């Protein structure tokens, strides 16, 4: 066994009797692998945001749910105490999965964690079950969605609701919500879960669903990791299409753009032949962005110029829609798309269309990632800001932010698309604006060392603060998605009427505040760590 892994068999009472200082993890006698190797510590101290770094005491590579139970139970029963944080693919932005004075659990674990689990054979491959017209798959909480897709496609099936990027862990997205252009129809990923296995902050492994241990089930979904660690999720599936018709059209008028988006998501109850399967959009305030990453449709030989399209305030809006099909519907796809497009009021000359395999569409962002990696533009700070903005105030947001604060530089894509609130379960922990329709506005910027002030981390973070200040001063009752706050007062404001329920669930399932302290919602209750918090 490699010396980098510790399977400590230190006798706590023997060391303590000779007066040596006891580290809170020194007396762990656990299954699985606990590493204090410098490279493992370094990896666990970072995330995709690249703005926060917090080194844990150790890193755990669990081989089963039982390993997580043992670790959390040890933390809960420890006289001195230590914290535990589950880390999926490390795609958090503000250090939410990082932890000081504790152990990071590498749920996805990369090749190391996968090998350990394979060697132990404690975690079976995903299991698919079919019951009449419904089907589902049971998966490990650290599984990446791309791997879930690859597995289910072998059976001609796929999850119903997605995120735009598939190299995220199942437990990670379910702890937030999990959204993409399918959410108007199926709701977020947390609305498509039948059952969970969860290790609570007491070290209890509990199976929960809407009908069994429902308080834990609803608490964990969108619960930011505060009530338990998801070790298994039962995900709803549907028949997977073979192909996708992917369409982008441009608008130079914001109200026309949002009117069409809202019309399209109102069709969610219609037969598949009478609606699109995916509705998103993005904002273009920088001519360079028209022809790069999110806009690969446009030919480099014939670039689109914002100035040539009679924009208001120098801003364009792109509607992005898809229609799924297979061999049985291939002969009607043209007519169905044409009928839907006739009801929209986009710039007539701006229709860009492509057809591609379903899996290639779902995995489209990864292809962009590979391009950015090749240019050294992926592992940079990402000061992202994701907001849910109520429909009634989205025009004010456009005027104040898209046509105001942002100027004509964005340093990354800006997504905008509406969702139907009735597709979200109000019993889950996640909070959304109190309107029937609300918009995701995602400013997915990258900080670059290019010599341009508008691309620096400081500039972009200041701009994010200006946007939040503008919303507050304008009375726009937004909610942060992937929220980040530093004080409990701010968190109370975020959860609003749900705060008391959130607090009640915390006291029930993680009374010592062991879990996910990187969210900065609750202080750990161990006295020995209060001084360093």
Active site residue 473: no
Region for residue 520 given its phi and psi (left: phi exceeds 0; alpha: psi -120 to 50; beta: otherwise): left
Q: Are the CB atoms for 349 and 129 separated by under 8 Å?
A: no
Q: Of these residues, 91, 382, 484, 520, which one is catalytic?
A: 91
Determine whether 301 is exposed, middle or buried from the number of CB atoms within 10 Å of its CB (0-12, 13-18, 19+): exposed
Query: What residues contact residue 96 under an 8 Å CB cut-off, 6+ apart?
Result: 47, 224, 225, 482, 484, 516, 518, 519
Q: Token match 């510590």: residue?
A: 41
Which entry of 47, 260, 280, 336 is annotated as an active-site residue? 280
Interatomic CA distance for residues 383 and 418, integer angstroms? 23
87 burial via Cβ count (<10 Å: 0-12, 13-18, 19+): buried
CB 237 within 8 A of CB 136: yes
Instruction: Note the helical H segments in 129-253.
Output: 145-153, 170-174, 183-186, 214-220
Q: Are 164 and 189 in contact (CB under 8 A)?
A: no
Helix (H) or strand (E) holding 68: helix 65-77
CA distance 183 to 442: 15
Backbone angles phi and psi of 419, in degrees to 5: -135, 155
Rounded distance, CA 290 to CA 318, Å? 9
Active site residue 280: yes
Write out the two tokens for 189: 């990923």
| The two three-digit tokens of residue 419, written as one number | 């969702």
| Cβ atoms of 482 and 224 closer than 8 Å | no
**Is 179 buried (19+), middle (13-18) or exposed (0-12) by CB count in 10 A?**
buried
Task: Quickly count helices (H) and strands (E) in the chain.
Answer: 18, 19
With CA atoms as reference, report the closest residue to 254 among 391, 458, 136: 391
Nearest of 386, 346, 430 to residue 165 by alpha carbon: 386
Residue closest to 72 by CA, chosen among 56, 51, 86, 54: 86
Query: What's the rounded Cα separation, in Å, for the pair 294 and 486?
Result: 32
Ordered strands of the 5-6 beta sheet:
5-6, 33-35, 58-61, 102-106, 83-87
Whether 268 is catalytic is no
Residues forming the active site:
91, 164, 280
């Amino acid at each position: 066994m490699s010396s980098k892994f510790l399977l400590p068999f230190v006798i706590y009472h023997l060391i303590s009797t000779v007066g040596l200082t006891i580290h809170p993890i020194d007396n762990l006698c656990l299954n699985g692998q606990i590493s204090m190797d410098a490279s493992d510590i370094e990896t666990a101290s970072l995330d995709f945001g690249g703005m926060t770094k917090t080194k844990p005491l150790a890193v755990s590579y669990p081989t089963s749910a039982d390993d997580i139970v043992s670790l959390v139970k040890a933390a809960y029963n420890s006289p001195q105490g230590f914290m535990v944080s589950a880390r999926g693919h490390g795609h958090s932005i503000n250090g939410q999965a990082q932890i000081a004075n504790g152990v990071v659990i590498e749920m996805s674990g990369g090749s190391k964690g996968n090998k350990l689990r394979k060697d132990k054979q404690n975690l079976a491959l995903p299991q698919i079950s079919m019951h009449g017209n419904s089907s589902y798959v049971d998966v490990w909480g650290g599984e990446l969605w791309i791997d879930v897709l690859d597995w289910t496609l072998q059976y001609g099936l796929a999850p119903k609701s997605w995120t735009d990027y598939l190299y995220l862990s199942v437990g990670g997205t379910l702890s937030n919500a999990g959204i993409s252009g399918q959410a108007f129809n199926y709701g977020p990923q947390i609305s498509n879960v039948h059952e969970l296995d969860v290790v609570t902050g007491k070290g209890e492994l509990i199976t929960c669903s809407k009908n069994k241990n429902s308080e834990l089930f609803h608490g964990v979904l969108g619960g930011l990791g505060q009530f338990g660690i998801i070790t298994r999720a039962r995900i709803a599936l549907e028949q997977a299409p073979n192909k996708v018709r992917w369409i982008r059209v441009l608008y130079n008028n914001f109200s026309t753009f949002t009117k069409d988006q809202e019309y399209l998501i109102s069709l969610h109850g219609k037969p598949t032949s009478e609606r699109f399967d995916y509705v998103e959009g993005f904002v273009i305030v920088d001519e360079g962005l028209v022809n790069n990453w999110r806009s690969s449709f446009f030919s480099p030989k014939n670039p689109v110029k914002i100035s040539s399209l009679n924009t208001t305030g120098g801003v364009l809006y792109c509607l992005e829609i898809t229609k799924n099909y297979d061999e049985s519907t291939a002969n009607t796809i043209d007519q169905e798309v044409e009928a839907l497009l006739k009801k929209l009021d986009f710039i007539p000359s701006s229709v860009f269309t492509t057809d591609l395999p379903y899996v290639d569409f779902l995995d489209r962002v990864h292809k962009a990632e590979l391009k950015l990696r090749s240019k050294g533009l992926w592992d940079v700070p990402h000061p992202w800001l994701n907001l849910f903005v109520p429909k009634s105030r989205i025009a004010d947001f456009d005027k104040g932010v898209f046509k105001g604060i942002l100027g004509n530089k964005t340093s990354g894509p800006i997504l905008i698309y509406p969702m139907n609130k009735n597709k979200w379960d109000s019993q889950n922990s996640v909070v959304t604006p109190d309107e029937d329709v609300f918009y995701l506005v995602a400013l997915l910027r990258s900080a670059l060392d290019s010599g341009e002030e508008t691309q620096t981390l400081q500039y972009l973070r200041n701009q994010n603060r200006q946007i939040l200040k503008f919303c507050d001063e304008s009375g726009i009752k937004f909610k942060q998605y992937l929220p980040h706050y530093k004080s409990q007062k701010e968190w109370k404001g975020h959860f609003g009427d749900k705060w008391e329920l959130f607090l009640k669930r915390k006291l029930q399932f993680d009374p010592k505040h062991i879990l996910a302290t990187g969210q900065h919602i609750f202080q750990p209750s161990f006295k020995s760590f209060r001084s360093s918090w």
